[in-house]
Amino acid sequence: MLLFSGLPRAADSPAQAEALVMQMHDYAERGIALGPQRLLIFAVALALQAFYINTVYVALFLVLVSMAEVFDVRSFSLARQAQADSPDRLRAVLLRLHIGAMFGACVVSFAAVSLAMAQSGAPSFMPMLLLIAAAVFAAMNTHQVVSVMVIRLGVYGLTFVMIPLLEWLANGAQPWPEVVLNFLTSLFMLYFIADCAVVGLRYYRTNRRQLAQLTVENNRAKAALAAKTEFLSTVSHELRTPLTSIRAALDMTLAGALGPVPEKSAQGLGIAQRNAHRLGTLIDELLDLQKMEIGKMRFDYCDVAVGELVAAAVADNHAYARALDVTLVAPKRGREIYVRADPMRLEQVITNLLSNAAKFSDVGSKVRVQIAATPDQVRISVHDRGAGIDPAQHDRVFDSFSQLDNTDARKFNGTGLGLNISKRIVEAHGGTLDFEPNAGGGTVFFVQLARIKPQGEAGGPHSPPQVIRTA
| pLDDT tens, position by position, 316-344 | 888 889 988 999 998 887 788 999 999 98
| pLDDT tens, position by position, 436-456 | 888 878 899 999 999 998 665
| pLDDT tens, position by position, 259-305 | 887 877 887 888 888 778 777 777 777 777 777 776 777 888 999 99
Considering just the CA atoms, what is the radius of gyration of the chain in Å? 37
| pLDDT tens, position by position, 167-219 | 777 666 556 666 677 667 777 778 888 888 888 888 888 888 888 888 888 88
d(CA 355, CA 406): 19
pLDDT of residue 381: 93
| pLDDT tens, position by position, 92-114 | 899 999 999 999 999 888 888 88
Asked if 157 contacts 108 with a C-beta cutoff of 8 angstroms, the reply is no
d(CA 178, CA 180): 5
pLDDT of residue 308: 92
Runs of H (alpha helix) within 81-175: 87-116, 125-141, 146-170
- 298 phi/psi in degrees, rounded to 5: -95, 135
| pLDDT tens, position by position, 50-77 | 777 777 878 888 898 889 889 999 999 9
* Three-state DSSP state, 184: helix
pLDDT of residue 404: 53
pLDDT of residue 401: 56
Closest CA to 65 of 85, 48, 46, 37: 46
pLDDT mean over 363-370:
90
d(CA 305, CA 469): 16
pLDDT of residue 416: 66
More confident residue, 22 or 241: 22
> Measured on CA atoms in the order 338, 343, 346, 348, is the torsion positive or negative?
positive
